[in-house]
């Protein structure tokens, strides 16, 4: 008995000692930095080097000896990419990786609703987590500088304040699932053509006021755990290995403690990659082991070349330690977090979320004579015309291409909603370039049509003439040279002869609604001849259902444009005074005057203004008032305006606050967006909207002082329904 008791005492003591000796890095309750230091101290040099570069197309090694899992990335930002082969872009042929496609980020920005951004981030984060990804490669927040950028559809518009406000809830929503949001592409990636060559020349004021704020908000307000560098150069250094962007601004000025990931193939030099802020290198040989040397991953700039430099003493081991610390921090926030939820995938709830976001983002651009919504009670036949009514839009477009559980086409959505209430007939109208697929992923449709453009127009006009309503659904698509990564558009105009078709349709039926599916602005030479125009975006899995709900009036449109539609390409600053597309060098001569800032400066009339969007009801704005006449440098000020729904149905209005600096020591825009609020009102209901600002809303970046300056003097607070539809203002002073 004594022996048993003695053994028990020894066993208990042993267990207690072992518990006390448990590695700190495995204790989720221990301080994060202690865990990082403990894990780092247990790693070999070879394990450290392995962590800082890829081992496959979308993964990098963990530390097997310590039980730290691999890192798995997935493309976003509109859905979770299909699984690909280890060393190839082609899909792996899984049968359980079909996701929900969410609307493109231009649509999210067009909601002007932070609650929608939070819902988006939460939903896509759940999908990424379920697929066991710990880094979502998105969202994108590069500023819309030119309407030709093939990747604009992945971004959040032309205004830094709007993009900043929308990115923060998205990031928080994703990361609540234990998945890092990797905000991209940092920075100045404002075109696709020559993206691997161009060195962007831009002054510091423009950089800080226009191109950096959304990234800063994602880091400091959203707490982003990852940032992706861009392909272009800035100040002569590639952005993925850029001292000024990554070390000086991101780390030092903003205090970023996350991981910096290269864009795939964005690293070009070992020494710069070591010292200039990069943590993880991906995709240097973009065809994996099928191209380049046989041991592609070991030959990455941060692989064997890095290891040899440390072993030779030319580079200190502290350099790899710095990178590994950031990667371990990523692991402890994601894969090593025991509280990490399990997520969910391709669910009905996610489809509902996507539809809700799409409905709030669709923009009613024009509605003369109230052609929309379609009056089903007095309609016998609806003609749907256009290729985009039937074309798959989730496949293609570059890295945002998706394998989806389902995609409801606009035609199918309209047919489903209308049901037996009216006859729905379809005519092609035009034929565009057909996309067979991308990365081994097929669209699954055959919509080839060998008829001539003339034959298609004749058929479309005949069908349109016999209908009560005509809904034309066209625009752009995800083919190369349109809304697609890797290249820019050739022109602002619609492709495939759509302008002529729209003109002919307008002649045969006055009840014509034109729906543009695109992530970019397009020219509309027929704008005065068409009574109703809708900007439909790329709406994801629920595209057709969301669009149909707007067209028939089940949902009142409330989206507002996140960028300006110019009449001509020359009305865009980048094409008027800026350099585009540049060669090895490109200078942003327009400076801070991007989008509506340029419109105001030049006093030109846009096709459709930034912030513009109509409703099936009407809103009346009251007088703008301020809570005081003067604001101190360390104080705040609140502006009030009453908004009333003067129509017959419920609706939501985006009330926009712009600030004007009446007199400044430096040139400033006529006005700048500084806040907004989406208010929902029942018929006859009135609500007061309040905006509170501080000196940051009045400041500009003084690049000579390298600081934000708010100069005392006269200002105006301007309330608008868009950047050109201004409803009232009030003057005030900054002491």
Residue 263 annotated among the catalytic residues of the structure: yes
Instruction: Give Cα separations from 424 to 377, 414, 455, 635 (angstroms).
Output: 14, 8, 21, 59
| CA R_g for the chain | 27
156, 167 contact by CB (below 8 A):
yes
Spatial contact of 373 and 379, defined as CB atoms under 8 Å apart: no
Contact present, 592 and 205 (Cβ < 8 Å): yes
Return the beta strands (E) in 187-266 as ranges: 199-201, 226-229, 233-234, 237-238, 259-261
Residue 708 CA: distances (Å) to CA of 2, 220, 431, 699, 727:
77, 17, 52, 6, 29
**Residue 474, helix vs strand vs coil:** strand
Q: For residue 43, give every residue at least 6 positions away whose Cβ sits within 8 Å of its Cβ, in sequence order, or none.
A: 63, 66, 324
Q: Residues near 431 by Cβ (< 8 Å), separated by ≥ 6?
A: 387, 448, 449, 451, 453, 456, 496
Assign residue 445 a region (left: φ > 0; alpha: ψ between -120 and 50; beta: otherwise).
beta
d(Cα 496, Cα 460) in Å, to the nearest integer? 15
- List, in order, residues 6 or more apart from 152 with CB less than 8 Å away: 106, 144, 483, 519, 520, 563
Q: What are phi and psi of 639, to 5 degrees?
A: -115, 145
* 75, 97, 263, 661: the active-site residue: 263
Q: What angle do CA 298, 299, 300 make, to 5 degrees?
A: 95
Peptide bond into 581 cis (omega under 30): yes
Could you tell me if 408 and 436 are in contact, meaning their C-beta atoms sit under 8 angstroms apart?
Answer: no
Query: Which three-class secondary structure string do you get for 559-586?
Result: CCCCCCECCCHHHCHHHHCCCCCCCCEE
Number of neighbours of residue 472 by Cβ within 10 angstroms: 29
User: Are 229 and 240 in contact, with CB atoms under 8 Å apart?
Assistant: yes
Instruction: State which H helix or E strand residue 121 sits in.
Output: helix 114-130
Instruction: Describe the strand order of the beta sheet including 713-720 as a list of residue ranges.
Output: 630-631, 726-734, 713-720, 651-661, 672-681
| Positions marked active-site | 263
């Amino acid at each position: 008995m004594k022996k048993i008791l003695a053994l028990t005492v020894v066993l208990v003591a042993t267990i207690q000692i072992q518990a006390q000796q448990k590695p700190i890095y495995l204790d989720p309750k221990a301080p994060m930095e202690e865990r990082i230091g403990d894990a780092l101290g247990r790693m070999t040099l070879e394990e450290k080097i392995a962590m800082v570069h890829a081992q496959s197309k979308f993964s990098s090694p963990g530390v097997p000896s310590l039980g730290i899992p691999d890192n798995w990335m997935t493309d976003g930002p509109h859905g979770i990419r299909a699984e690909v082969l280890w060393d190839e872009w082609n899909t792996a042929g899984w049968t359980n990786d079909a996701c929900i496609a969410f609307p493109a980020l231009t649509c999210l920005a067009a909601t002007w609703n932070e609650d929608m951004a939070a819902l988006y981030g939460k939903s896509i984060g759940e999908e990424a987590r379920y697929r066991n990804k710990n880094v979502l490669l998105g969202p994108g927040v590069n500023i819309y500088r030119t309407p030709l950028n093939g990747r604009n559809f992945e971004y959040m518009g032309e205004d830094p304040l709007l993009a900043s406000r929308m990115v923060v809830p998205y990031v928080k929503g994703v990361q609540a699932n234990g998945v890092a949001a990797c905000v991209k592409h940092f920075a100045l990636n404002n075109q696709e053509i020559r993206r691997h060559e161009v060195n962007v020349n831009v002054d510091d004021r423009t950089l800080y006021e226009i191109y950096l704020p959304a990234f800063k908000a994602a880091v400091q307000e959203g707490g982003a755990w990852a940032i992706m560098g861009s392909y272009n150069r800035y100040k002569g250094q590639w952005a993925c290995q850029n001292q000024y962007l990554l070390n000086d601004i991101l780390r030092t000025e903003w205090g970023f403690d996350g991981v910096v990931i290269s864009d795939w193939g964005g690293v070009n030099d070992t020494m710069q990659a070591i010292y200039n802020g990069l943590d993880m290198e991906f995709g240097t040989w973009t065809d994996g082991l099928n191209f380049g040397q046989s041991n592609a991953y070991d030959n990455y700039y941060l692989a064997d070349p890095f290891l040899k430099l440390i072993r030779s003493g030319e580079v200190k081991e502290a350099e790899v330690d710095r990178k590994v610390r950031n990667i371990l921090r990523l692991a402890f926030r994601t894969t090593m977090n025991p509280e990490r939820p399990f997520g969910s995938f391709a669910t009905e709830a996610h489809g509902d979320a996507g539809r809700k976001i799409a409905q709030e983002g669709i923009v009613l651009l024009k509605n003369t004579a109230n052609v929309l919504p379609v009056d089903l009670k007095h309609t016998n036949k609806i003609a749907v015309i256009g290729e985009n009514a039937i074309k798959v839009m989730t496949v293609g477009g570059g890295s945002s291409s998706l394998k989806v559980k389902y995609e409801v086409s606009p035609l199918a959505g309209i047919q489903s909603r209308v049901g037996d209430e009216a006859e729905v007939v379809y005519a092609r109208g035009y034929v565009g370039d057909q996309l067979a697929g991308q990365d081994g992923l097929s669209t699954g449709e055959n919509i080839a049509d060998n008829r001539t453009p003339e034959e298609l127009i004749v058929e479309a006009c005949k069908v349109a003439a016999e209908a009560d309503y005509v809904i034309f659904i066209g625009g752009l698509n995800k083919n190369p040279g349109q809304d697609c990564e890797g290249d820019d558009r050739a022109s602002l105009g619609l492709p495939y002869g759509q302008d002529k078709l729209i003109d002919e349709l307008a002649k045969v039926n006055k009840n014509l609604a034109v729906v543009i599916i695109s992530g970019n602005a397009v020219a509309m030479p027929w704008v005065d001849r068409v009574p109703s125009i809708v900007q439909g975006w790329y709406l994801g899995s629920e595209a057709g259902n969301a669009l149909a709900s707007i067209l028939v009036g089940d949902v009142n449109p409330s989206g507002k444009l996140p960028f300006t539609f110019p009449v001509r390409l020359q009305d865009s600053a980048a094409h008027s005074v800026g350099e585009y597309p540049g060669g090895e060098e490109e200078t942003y001569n327009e400076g801070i005057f991007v989008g509506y800032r340029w419109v105001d400066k030049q006093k030109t009339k846009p096709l459709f203004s930034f912030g513009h969007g109509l409703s099936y009801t009407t809103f009346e704005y009251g007088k703008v008032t301020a809570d005081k006449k003067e604001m101190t440098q360390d104080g705040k000020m609140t502006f009030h305006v009453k908004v009333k729904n003067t129509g017959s149905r419920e609706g939501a209005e985006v009330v926009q606050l712009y600030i004007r600096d009446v007199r400044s020591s430096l040139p400033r825009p006529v006005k700048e967006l500084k806040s907004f609020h989406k208010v929902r009102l029942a018929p006859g209901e009135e609500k007061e909207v309040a905006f509170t600002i501080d000196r940051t809303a009045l400041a500009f970046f003084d690049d000579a002082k390298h600081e934000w300056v708010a100069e005392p003097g006269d200002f105006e607070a301007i309330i608008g329904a868009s950047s050109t539809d201004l409803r009232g203002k009030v003057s005030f002073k900054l002491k």
